[in-house]
């Protein structure tokens, strides 16, 4: 079911859930003594299992891959179109998928030709895969009417003309970015960038050099679509924790801390890319920091 934010509507489009080891959540280098995952076990064992995020006694958590469909200002906006089918990827869970993501998008009332804007918070494989689909031997834009918005710093970071080190993102630019550029459907933007009266792209660097977010403000309500600025709710309580793969872990932590202050100050919704059910919520004060408060059970299930 859609969630209402002011006069806008938000709906989650699921691709998959995968198990991820808690041991991968580790402090950014230099931010906490004790080595990787020093006290993550304690966080896991004391967490509320009813929230669906911290399975007590289990060494893994459920990592959700999903997109957000936002309807605002007469636009249908798709945020972070997941992995896509039939791709060769180094990550086994992302390799050679055959999942009904497009069917789920249509069930939400948005056929590919209905999408006006596609925004990728960053260009990792699980955030831009459905930008394109294979037709014969070619990758072509999935959304024939859409304008694809890429942040300039992120576009430069992944352009094969610029050297980069990330073996897990090999071939993504050629498959998921270059075809929509060739089709003339891309606009390269520099944040802050106004998508519409209610929607603004803002910088949120660290996870990747040009990582960005989408801010929604409608009828005095606010929401942030934060991509991989957060991977797991424990990072609300312990923002120094990172999953592997950040371009700049220290910057990712600084961005996360700044976002938490904004989310709390504005009473805004947090719509991340990977939280398990109920997938979104708000933040509240807890001691000197914050805690994640999930949305009501059943919302955006």
- CA-CA distance, 204 to 252, in Å (whole number)? 8
Q: Is residue 69 part of a domain?
A: yes
Mean pLDDT of 222-248: 95
Question: pLDDT above 70 covers what percent of the chain?
Answer: 87
Provide the pLDDT for residue 161.
80
Question: 53-100: per-residue pLDDT in tens?
Answer: 444 345 889 999 999 999 999 999 999 999 999 998 878 888 888 999
CATH of the domain at 214: 3.60.15.10
How far apart CA 109 and CA 119 sit, in angstroms, is 19
Going by DSSP bridges, is the β-strand pair 221-225/241-242 parallel, antiparallel, or unpaired? unpaired
Query: Is residue 226 in some structural domain?
Result: yes
- Report CA 211 to chain centroid distance, whole Å: 10
Answer whether residue 116 is part of any domain. Answer: yes
Does the pLDDT of residue 41 top 50, yes or no? no
**Domain ranges, residue 211:** 3-294
Rounded Cα distance, 234 and 203, in Å: 22
pTM score: 0.90
Total domains in the fold of the chain:
1
User: For 99-106, what is the mean pLDDT?
Assistant: 97
| 300 found inside a domain | no
133 inside domain: yes
User: In which band, very low, low, confident or very high, does the pLDDT at 234 lie, cut at 50, 70 and 90?
Assistant: very high
> Is 299 within the bounds of a domain?
no
Higher pLDDT, 262 or 29: 262
In 3D space, the residue among 151, 134, 153 whose CA is nearest the CA of residue 80 turns out to be: 151
pLDDT on residue 162? 75
Note whether residue 59 is domain-resident: yes
- When pLDDT is averaged across residues 192-202 and rounded to a whole number, the result is 98
Average pLDDT, the chain: 88
One-character DSSP codes across 84-99: -SS---SSGGGTT---
- 3-state SS class at 213: strand
Q: Is residue 168 part of a domain?
A: yes
């Amino acid at each position: 079911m859609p969630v209402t934010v002011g006069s806008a509507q938000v709906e989650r489009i699921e691709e998959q859930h995968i198990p991820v080891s808690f041991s991968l959540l580790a402090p950014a280098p230099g931010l906490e003594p004790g080595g990787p995952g020093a006290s993550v076990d304690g966080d896991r064992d004391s967490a509320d299992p009813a929230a669906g995020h911290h399975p007590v006694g289990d060494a893994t958590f459920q990592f959700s891959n999903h997109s957000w469909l936002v309807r605002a200002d007469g636009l249908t906006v798709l945020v972070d179109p997941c992995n896509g089918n039939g791709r060769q990827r180094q990550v086994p869970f992302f390799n050679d998928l055959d999942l009904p993501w497009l069917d789920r998008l249509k069930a939400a009332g948005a056929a590919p030709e209905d999408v006006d804007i596609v925004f990728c918070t960053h260009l990792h494989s699980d955030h831009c895969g459905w930008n394109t689909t294979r037709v014969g031997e070619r990758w072509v834009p999935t959304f024939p009417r859409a304008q694809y918005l890429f942040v300039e710093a992120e576009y430069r970071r992944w352009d094969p003309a610029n050297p980069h080190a990330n073996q897990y993102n090999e071939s993504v630019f050629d498959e998921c970015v270059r075809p929509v550029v060739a089709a003339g459907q891309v606009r390269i933007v520099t944040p802050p960038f106004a998508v519409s009266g209610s929607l603004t792209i803002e910088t949120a660097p660290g996870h990747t050099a040009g990582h960005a977010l989408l801010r929604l403000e409608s009828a005095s309500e606010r929401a942030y679509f934060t991509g991989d600025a957060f991977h797991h709710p424990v990072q609300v309580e312990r923002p120094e924790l990172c999953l592997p793969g950040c371009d700049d872990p220290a910057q990712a932590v600084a961005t996360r801390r700044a976002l938490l202050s904004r989310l709390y100050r504005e009473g805004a919704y947090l719509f991340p890319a990977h939280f398990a059910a109920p997938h979104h919520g708000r933040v509240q004060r807890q001691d000197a920091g914050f805690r994640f408060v999930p949305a009501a059970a059943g919302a955006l299930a």
